[in-house]
Amino acid sequence: MGRDLNKVLLIGHLGRDPEMRYTPSGRPVTTFTVATSRTWNTTEGERRSETEWFSIVAWGNLAEICKQYLSKGQQVYIEGRLQTRRWEDSDGGKHTSIEVVASEMMILGDRRDINHGHPGEAPDSEPVEEEEYPF
C-alpha cells in the first residue's frame, strides 16, 4: 500500500496583515494571504508575469506567532497542506475555498523590515488539528 502526500511549499509576500480569531473552544486561528509571482518570456520574446494568491490558515501556537510577527508586504516561507472548505451561505448558495493549512512559517528577507517583536524567538509550531471555523 502506497503513502499519500499533501504538501505545499510557498515563498511569497503577505497581501494583508494577518487576522486572528478564536474558536468557541478558545483555540486561536489566524488567516492571511500570500502572493507568489512568476515571470517568463513568450516565444515572441515578450516578457509576461502572473501572480497567484493563496489563502493561508494557521492554528494554535503558529496562529499566535503569525499574528505577532507578520505584516502586509513581508516575504515568508510557508509549509503546509491544501484543504478544501465548503459552506453554504444564507441564500443557499454553495461555496468552495481552497486554503493552505500552515504547519511551518519562516520570515524571509531583511529582518530590519519587521516592525514588531523579536522574530528569532518564535518557537516550533505545534501539529495542526482540524477544528470548526469561528467565522
Domains and their CATH numbers in the chain: 8-113 (2.40.50.140)
pLDDT of residue 110: 64
> pTM of the prediction?
0.75
CA distance 120 to 79: 18
pLDDT of residue 37: 95
- Show the low-confidence residues of the chain (pLDDT under 70): 110-135
Helix (H/G/I), strand (E/B), else coil: 117: coil
Strand partners, 53: 35
Angle at 33 between CA 115 and CA 132, to 5 degrees: 110
pLDDT of residue 2: 84
